[in-house]
Structures are given as C-alpha cells and as structure tokens.
Structure 1
Amino acid sequence: MGAARLHVLAGALRDREGRVLLAERPAGKHLAGLWEFPGGKREPGEAPLAALARELDEELGIALVEAEPLIRVPWRYHERELLLDAWCVTQWRGEPRSLEGQGLRWCRPAEADPAALAPADRAILQALRLPPHYLISPAEVLPAERGAWFKQIGRAIDAGERLVQLRLPLWPREEVRGFAATLLPMLREHGAQLLLNADIEGAQMLGIGVHLTAAQLVALDERPLPLQQTVAASCHDAAQLSRALRLGVDFATLSPVAATASHPQAQPLGWTRFQALAEAAAMPVYALGGMAPAQGAQARAAGAQGVAGIRGFWRWP
C-alpha cells in the first residue's frame, strides 16, 4: 500500500505594494536552491488554515490574520504524492524573518522567474499573476473592423481587464500579428497580457503568449515557448488537461461548462464535473462556455481561476 498523499500548506504573503514573499530551500533539502512559497506539512487532525498559521509562525515568526484560498496543486515528486494547498495571505502581524536558515526575498509576481521556483510552486505563481477574467475576441470579427476592435480592447483595458486572446480566424495571419503589435504598447503600459490563438511562431516573434488548440496539444512534444512567455491551452476533458500539464502549460480553459449557442452539439460539463477536473489539474483553469463576468464567484467556488468568454465580456458602444 502506497504512502498517503502529503497535505502541504503554502502562504502567498502579499504586501501593500503587491509583492509576494519567496523562501529559498536550504542546502541539504530536496530541491535545495529553488524558491518556494513558505509553508509546510499539515499535521493529522489539523485544520488547513491552522496548519498554515503554525507553519508561518515557525518559519517566519508572524501571526496569520487573514487569508483566502488561492489554488490547490496536486503534485508528484518521484514516488511521493502531495497536495500543495496555497492561500493568499493579505494580513499578518509581525515582520517576516528567516527562522530556519532560508533565504527570503520580496518580488512582484510578474517579475519572478518561474524557472527559479520549485516545479509545484510555479502554478501558485501563475495563479497570482492571472486576473479573474479572460477575454476572447469574437471569431466573426472582420479585418475591416480593425479600428473598432482596437477601441473595444482599449475600453476593456481601461475598465480593468488584463488578459486578452486574439482569436481572429477570418484575418490573414500577418494581419493578426500586425494588429497584435499595435496593441502591445497599450497593454504593456497597463500590465495586461495578450495571447495569440494557435500562432506559436507569431508569439515567438512578438515576445507574447500563445493559446494552444486541443489539436496542438496532441501534436506538440514540448512546451513551445520559454517560461517567460505565457502558454495557455483549450481543454475539454481530463486527458487534455493531463497533456497540458506534461507540456508545461501555464493555464487552461475548460469547456463547455454550460450550453452555448456557438457549440450546441457539445455536452456541457456542469459545475460538479468542472470542479472535479479543475481541482485535479495542477494549474489555473478558467471556466469557459456559457459564462459571464457575474459568474466569477461561482466559478472560483468550483476551483476555477475565474471565467473566460467572448460576447458577454466585451463592452459594446
């Protein structure tokens, strides 16, 4: 009989400047030299939040005041299975200090190097980086509407949206790339991310992210972009989510959660099935298919990073 899955708590301490605290694993420990979010093992019978409070007190000398669930990451290191249960810690008493010989440093999530983190902790970093909404451009947009859609995306960014996918199948690929290039200064000024749908070469050229199709997941043997450029993927079942994880995808959309007019033949997952798949995914997952921004809280309660969508997410004139 194998060993029981280890339940490990991790705290993403976030200060008023939006920085998070990372701890370096000391010499002599597994994954020594890599960075992680502070925390440790839950003792038998201990409530998760109580375990996190105890670990933060023992490691950093602080008293936990307020935290909320961030992401749960099932992971395997060699023969040991663990559940990395991450919480966003927004209030604490005391000044964090190294009590176990670990290095400590504060950094903004967008500036942290994923390659410097322990593999399981990279999903926590992505969850901190990603916003609650993922906007996808409507497939029927024509090249002649370029000016109108520059304004649409600008309005969305001004309204606080920070993650956009360009999915423009009616446009020549070079025109999509050119449009993306014109959008980048505005998006970068606001700290927003732009992903191209399926166009790996274009993403490489522009230094931005790519959203892989389900067909690309099957065809690829390795992550198509460096860790500094976001890779997302469209998934519809457990096998595709597992494949995305093996490729090192940063986040996925999982669909359809509900019935949609665009894919009437697709069987909806429903929230129960969505939650089971999302919680086993070991990466942030957006709920897609019949979603609207107002369903964000319901999606997060089901283990989602947030909600993704097309029509219901854009502000019309």
Structure 2
Amino acid sequence: MYSTSTTLPDHLLITPDPADAPDKEIFLINLSKALRRGIRLVQLRSRYLSVIEYMTFVEPILTLCHAHNAHLIINPPEDVGIRIVSDGIHLSVPRLLAAKKRPEGYLFVSGACHNKLQLTQAERIGLDFVTLSPVLSTATHPNAAPIGWKKFSHLANSTKVPIFALGGMTPKELARAKAAGAHGIAAIRGLWY
C-alpha cells in the first residue's frame, strides 16, 4: 500500500481509448499537454486495442510520462495476461474480485470499485488506491446510475484505501470530493482537454 497518501497526486488522468484517437501522434500530443498542465498520475485505458497494439503503445507513453515526472498505470484489455513494463496496473472489477493477492512487480496497484464488497477486497489485497464510481452522471457510462456524494462519502469513509472520485469529475469538484472523503479525483474528459 502507499506509504503515505501525501505522496499520491490528487488528480488521476484516465486516458480516452487510444483506439478512438485519429492517430498515435495526436494522442501523444494531447497527453503531453495534460502532463504540462501538471498531471502526475496517468492510467492508460483501452478496451479496443489488440494486445500487440496495446503493448506497443505503452512504451512511448511511459517515456513521455517519465519525462514529466509522472507515473503510468496500465489498464489493458482483459485478455492481456503478461507483464507489461509500467509503473503500475489498474485492476478491473473482474480482475480485482479474482485476485488472491496484490499483483507483484508494480510500484502501484489500483482497482475499480463501485460498492462496499469491492472496496473490502481492495483493502484485503493491499491496493494503493481505487477509483469509486460513478459519483455523478458521466458521458462515458450514460446508463450507470450515479451513487451521489452522500453514498460516496459513506463508502469512502468505510475503508483505509485512498479513493479517487470518478464519474462527472472536473478540477472544480476536487474540494467537494475531498470533503466527502476522497483523496482526489479521476477523470477522462475532465482532465484530458
């Protein structure tokens, strides 16, 4: 687990899916802009790249992140079963619930959570932090019912694992998220552009 939550940035950028980018260079330019704005924790999320495409894409992104003193956490397609060089890995809900222990070989291990059961599992296996979502309505998952700030606060205060509020987050929501028990915010659109 994180040795101290004070070393964990309070903004987590989750990238849009690189498969949706017009080309790799535009994706890297947009990521570079976010890093220059101060993002220091990036999750490379993709559901649509092939395993080979994802693995090929990680190296230049890791290099770019490290050039800006940022960390890269991978969130690869579900069928990636091999170790990819990165600073960390994000466990989807199925990966989180199936884990018997914290994955080895990563500086950071995070997980996706939506309820108390998943938070309990994240704490049990010693994750460094989690995302808890969706707090507010989000364009990424328009059919998901938001949990709202009251339930978020109840869940966030029921665990020792640092939590990033996810779903409808923008930098303007940071103070509200922290007041509700979050370590910080995570976002795609709210932090990418």
TM-score normalized with structure 1 length:
0.56
**Counterpart position of 1:137:** 15
Q: Secondary structure at the match of 2:84?
A: helix
Structure 1 consecutive aligned stretches of length 4 or more whose deviation exceeds 4 Å: 198-202
**Counterpart position of 1:20:** none
Structure-1 separation of matches of 2:121 and 2:140: 25
**Counterpart position of 1:233:** 111
Q: Secondary structure at the match of 1:299?
A: helix
Structure-2 separation of matches of 1:181 and 1:290: 29
Retained in 2: the 8 A contact 1:198–1:213?
no
- Which is helix-richer, 1 or 2? 2
Cα gap change, 1:303 to 1:148, in 2 (>3 Å) = same
Q: Between Structure 1 and Structure 2, how many residues are aligned?
A: 191
**Counterpart position of 1:308:** 186
Matches within 5 A, 1:47-62: none
Retained in 2: the 8 A contact 1:253–1:308?
yes
- Which of residues 134, 137, 148 is equivalent to 1:259? 137
Cα gap change, 1:229 to 1:123, in 2 (>3 Å) = closer
Higher relative contact order at CA 8 Å, sep ≥6: structure 1 or structure 2?
A: 2
**Counterpart position of 1:10:** none
Retained in 2: the 8 A contact 1:198–1:212?
no
Structure-1 separation of matches of 2:92 and 2:157: 21
Q: Secondary structure at the match of 1:161?
A: coil
Retained in 2: the 8 A contact 1:197–1:211?
yes
Which structure 1 segments of 5+ residues have no match?
1-121
Which structure 2 segments of 5+ residues have no match?
none
Matches within 5 A, 1:111-122: 122=1
**Counterpart position of 2:64:** 186
Shift of 1:262: 3.0
- Which of residues 166, 186, 189 is equivalent to 2:44? 166
- Which of residues 149, 153, 157 is equivalent to 1:279? 157
Q: Secondary structure at the match of 2:164?
A: strand
Greater Rg by CA = 1
Structural RMSD (CA): 1.9
Structure-2 separation of matches of 1:201 and 1:128: 32
Structure-2 separation of matches of 1:140 and 1:191: 22
- Which of residues 115, 128, 145 is equivalent to 1:250? 128
